Every structure is written in structure tokens, then in C-alpha cells.
Amino acid sequence: MKIALFDAKPYDKKHFSIDAEKYGYGIRYIEPALSEHTAILARGCDVVCPFVNCTVNSKAIDILKSEGVKLIALRSAGFNNVDYEYAEAAGIPVVRVPAYSPYAVAEHSFALLLALVRKLTHAYVRTREFNFSLTGLVGTDLHGKTIGIIGAGKIGRVAISIAKGFGMRILVHDPFAEDIEGTEKADLERIMSESDIISLYCPLTESNHHIISKKTLGMMKKTALVINTSRGALIDSEALLEALKDKSIGGAALDVYEEEAGIFYQDQSDTGIEDDTLARLISMPNVIITSHQGYLTEDALAAISATTMENIKHFEEGTELINLVK
């Protein structure tokens, strides 16, 4: 099997190269993201392996099919960037990595939360300049605070476990989840109005696009913090910026952004960015943004590679595709 791995970064190559050799597969590492403009680069390959900022639309799928690609093997849990129904109709299965390390993402969300509530980024910059003043660095405890968890899948449940360790009151909104011990099920309105922290752990679907909107932001406490390590389009970025400017919420910590494609995973330090909304969010003192790195641990990268190779092996052998998107 020949694999075209798009949006390839140095940290991808370590585990994929080892696993590909073990399975006897060849990998072509392609730096650009997969799209209708780059799909031709998969010529001669049986499998394409896109990441979250690739756009696998109908035009890209038509090109992939014409070039002989037989399988789309996502190296991510999310699949909102793939027209999987069109791919299925074209006879190209789409498989994914549904669970690589829920701990990596959940832990990162709490790292962001702690950095935000204890003003760690400001403290770090000060001490680097030998400024040891504590003025303006007063934080808040997490113990006793109410956290609203939206999405109680694998990552959400790890986040719930972490929140329990901090002694937090936990509200959970997930229409598909059963009752979870030590938590309270709540509708969206209650989550928004009662939570001190609202953290998102759900996939992006048509029904929850902009679940954090002008309307739901207006329900929140003025001190509420919004944490997002899931998908950028769960939040209306313009509405979030306005709420932060108006001081109608307390702050935000984001590992994802709805228009991150073409910005995240790239070094923009010499050129700057043209996205005014993102630039203004980054400039705000009560906002922390990381570049979609929640998944980025050695453990997660190893698991992503291993599951992707297993998915390809199942396809090659004609056995059940247990991680099929359908």
C-alpha cells in the first residue's frame, strides 16, 4: 500500500515512518494540506491520510478517485472537513481515529484553564523581565466553582474526572450520554447561566455549529470563562470578541479557531495574520490561544499512527472497517 500523508509535519514522521516500515507500506509525506488544489499530489497512491485542516470536498474526492486513491484514512477523530457521503457514493471509504488519547486533550483544556485563572502567561512574561510584582495577578480557585461540560464522550469524561479532582460542581450537557455519577445533567440554558467555566468537548455537527453564540454568550455570568479544545466553529468568533470587548464574560481559552485553516500549524511570525478577529482575540489580556495542540503528546501521536495503520491494514485485507465514517 502506498500512502500520501498530507499536511505532514516533522512530529508526524517519527511514528508514521516506524509503523509504515513495520507494515511494509510506503509513505509520501506532502507538506501542503489536502484540498481540490493539491489532491493531484496523491497520484500513484492507494491511500490519502489527511489531517483536520485539510478540505476533502467533492472536487478533491473526484480528483483522488481519478488518480486511483481507494481509501481516505483520517488521522483525527473529527471528520467535519470531509464530504464522507460523497466519498461513500464514489466508492472510497473514509476511516478515522476515534480515540487516540482523550487524556491529552482533556489535560490541555485544564492547562489552559489554569493558565487563565492564575494569569500564568502574564506572570511568565513579567519574571522574564525580572519584574516580580504581584499586582494584577490575583487569580481565583477552581475548587467549589461550577463547570459546564458540553459533550460527555471519551474526552469529556476524562475532563469530568479531572474536574472532580479539583472539587468542582459539574453540570453536563450531552443528549446521548447517560447519567454520570457526581455530575448533574443540564440543558443548555442552565449550563450557560449557572457555570463559572464552560468547556466544549463535542464534535462539530450542523446542530451545534456556533453553540456559543451571541444568544448563549448573553446568558453567561459576567465572570464566566469559555474553554474550547474541540472544533473552532462551535464558537461564533465575532460574537465572542464582542462579548469580551463588552466585558459581558470573563475570558476565553481556545485551542481551536473556526478560520484556523491556513493559519494554525504555520509560522506566521514574519508575515503576521490578516484575520482581524483572531488578531484582536490574541491581543486581549483575558484570552489565551494555542495552535490546535491539545492532541500533541508523544502518547497521542503514537496512538494516531498505530490506529491509522490498522485501519489501512483492515482495508487492505478486506476485513471489517471498525472505524468507518458512515
Looking at the annotation, which residues are catalytic?
Answer: 231, 260, 292
Rounded Cα–Cα distance for residues 38 and 48 (Å):
12
Helix, strand, coil percent values for the chain (each to nearest 5): 35, 15, 50
3-state secondary structure at position 289:
strand
Q: Crossing angle, helix 102-117 and helix 154-165, to 10 degrees?
A: 40
**Sequence-ordered alpha helix ranges (H) in the chain:** 10-23, 58-66, 84-89, 102-117, 120-128, 154-165, 188-194, 214-217, 237-245, 276-283, 298-317
Count of Cβ atoms closer than 10 Å to residue 165 Cβ: 11
Q: How many CA atoms lie within 13 A of 138 on its CB side?
A: 2
219 contacts 189 by C-beta, under 8 angstroms:
yes
Q: Phi and psi (nearest 5°) for 251?
A: 165, 180
β-bridge mates for residue 297, sequence order: none
What are the grid coordinates assigned to 259, written together? 478560520
Asked if residue 171 lies in contact with residue 184, where contact means CB atoms within 8 angstroms, the answer is: yes
Q: Are 172 and 158 in contact (CB under 8 A)?
A: no
Full 3-state SS string of 124-179: HHHHHCCCCCCCCCCCCCCCCCEEEEECCCHHHHHHHHHHHHCCCEEEEECCCCCC
